[in-house]
Structure 1
């Protein structure tokens, strides 16, 4: 069985050898290793060429212009010829030299479209943490025509129930049958962060799916990595593209699953909440306000015509702060001011300013109050002459 290993890379010279060494030294030799250079400006390409010269299983694709990691994965997948495919990030590594051999053995045994497994995070300070949330499977199990997958999937996605299963969107935590990805014409989004979230929509489509409780992957969390960097400009536009792909897969391929209409909205709420809480603290006050307004408009577009407060019945346990969310959904059918939108979104992510919307405590008002306090403090601490000089300068500006 030929296995295709796809490794996009961009400016990872400090980590690239570690990744490549973990692949080329695998006990399973029948590999097709495809390295995709997404316009690196450091010595990553030199390293790739060095390894390709030493190992005939390696081939290199060079992008003329950057398509980011999603586009690089597509480029690798387009020329892949293996029966199974594994997408690996160039700053990570395989957990042990028998990883692919073990996965191939499971693939041959179960003929699974997808094999899920565990990962271990290695932090920047070399502290090792086994990822036990999104990536924990407490038992080996296979879902097929005699063991329906949907009930387990629904409980995990909708109710965040992790008794013996859990699903991460991370593409590197999955071993894919290549024909399965091509059957559903899956393509990663280009120029988009979090572009592996739509992979969750493919899980119920698998005829056979295997979960393993074993760690096969080391995920390195770096300060400068995509997941830890500040939010890009027009961040919500990334989620708009993700939402479009989620709904596209839903309407094309999902048929006959109980309560299936609830899944895409819950995915969007869960992942938008998670990433907002992670990224927002790095933004200044004015960027935060814009963020809240963008989030409100995005959710309004996604949810307004798909139902009211009765849409989520029962309320998904995967989504916290149900009363604030219901208040938000109700507001989609009202005409409210931007300041109220900010308060509503803030209450969902960080707790409510108040039990009811109070426009008079909008961010704009809070800023004005803060400015008044600063002026009072200045008058108390600075000599009278200095204060008058500042006031005269401000008067002359207008």
Structure 2
């Protein structure tokens, strides 16, 4: 009999001192106890490291890791996966929090369905207030195939509900992740989109859990909520990396519809973020030119025209 925990929770931390205690309290107070909590500080410059030390001193479940140089959340999670000893793996960001039954109920679901992944709903929280948005919720307990789930992720078919690429509202079978060599890319943004495409592509079964347990805190300073040229580059680089891997594995033709639907989903998300974050029309047009240029460097019209709704993309700018 081994003494390995059943669940490894990986928490990347970078300059989240204001929210970190709320996050850690929600994880250490889970009803599910057979776990290790791997907290990786990505060379924070605020008081985050001291808060981690404080909690590690009073909770034996916590395994703290302190990096000397900032490597980004994707590589931090990859490092966490390499350290994880649990049969299942989950991720929580250091400025988010979870309900106390989150892991117990997802563990029950993934076990009972013999699934590779279990997923629940998400609430987006704003500024630590009572203001929140129900972001994803599933109306019935269900176990679906990976093939069906890929259509929900990429929106290649409209079934009236979707699966988010966000990784934090899910748990994963650790052997499944490691045996299929699923990892995060090194982009500062869109690393969830890269990881989730392949996790769902390679999965056999995915459990959907009706309750909403994960609270996603939207900070205005977050890299995913600030528009920049780097965000555009990360988006396009991620899409190209996915295409390259599909081509290398000789399965792009098989998943062409899903892949190019995913291209549309991510580009639409990028444009939506641009409209919300940049109110100045001149700045918007400059960014739009940059997006079109980067897109044209990596894709041809003939390559994507049969798989994307160009009118929906153009509608963002009344084109």
2:316 paired residue among 349, 362, 380: 349
State yes or no: 1:293 paired with 2:297: no
Q: What is the 5 A alignment of 1:93-242?
A: 93-95=97-99, 97-124=100-127, 126-132=129-135, 135-143=136-144, 148-151=145-148, 153-154=150-151, 157-159=154-156, 161-163=158-160, 165-198=161-194, 199-229=196-226, 231-242=227-238
- Shift of residue 128, structure 1, vs aligned partner: 3.9
CA offsets 1:188-217 (integer angstroms, 9 cap, x no match)? 122421211121332132122111111121
Aligned to 1:70: 74
Residues 11 and 40, structure 1, Cα contact 8 Å, conserved in 2: yes
Q: Secondary structure at the match of 2:17?
A: coil
Question: Does the 8 Å CA contact 2:152/2:163 hold for their aligned counterparts?
Answer: no
C-alpha deviations, 1:86-131, integer Å up to 9, x for none? 1101111112x22211122222212210111101122226134342
| 1:243 alignment partner, one of 239, 245, 251 | 239
Q: TM-score, normalised by structure 1?
A: 0.72
* Alignment counterpart, residue 321 of structure 1, candidates 287, 306, 311: 311
Aligned partners of 1:141 and 1:211 also within 8 Å: yes
TM-score normalised over the length of structure 2: 0.88
SS in 1 for 2:18: coil
RMSD: 2.5
Going from structure 1 to structure 2, the CA distance change for 1:181 and 1:156 (only over 3 Å counts) comes to closer
Q: 1:244 to 1:156 in 2, by over 3 A?
A: closer
Flag the structure with higher strand content.
Answer: 2
SS state at 2:168 partner: helix
Q: CA distance change for structure 1 residues 193 and 66 in 2, over 3 Å: closer, same or farther?
A: same
CA distance in 2, matches of 1:212, 1:127: 24
Corresponding residue number in structure 2 for 1:382: none
Structure 1 unaligned blocks of 5 or more: 326-346, 353-398
* Cα distance in structure 1, aligned partners of 2:188 and 2:310: 26
Question: Can you give the 5+ residue segments of structure 2 that lack an aligned partner in the other structure?
Answer: none
Question: Is contact 1:120-1:128 (8 Å) kept?
Answer: no
Q: Distance in 2 between matches of 1:130 and 1:139?
A: 20
What is the CA-CA distance between 1:152 and the residue it aligns to?
Answer: 5.8
Larger radius of gyration: 1
Q: CA deviation at 1:348?
A: 4.6
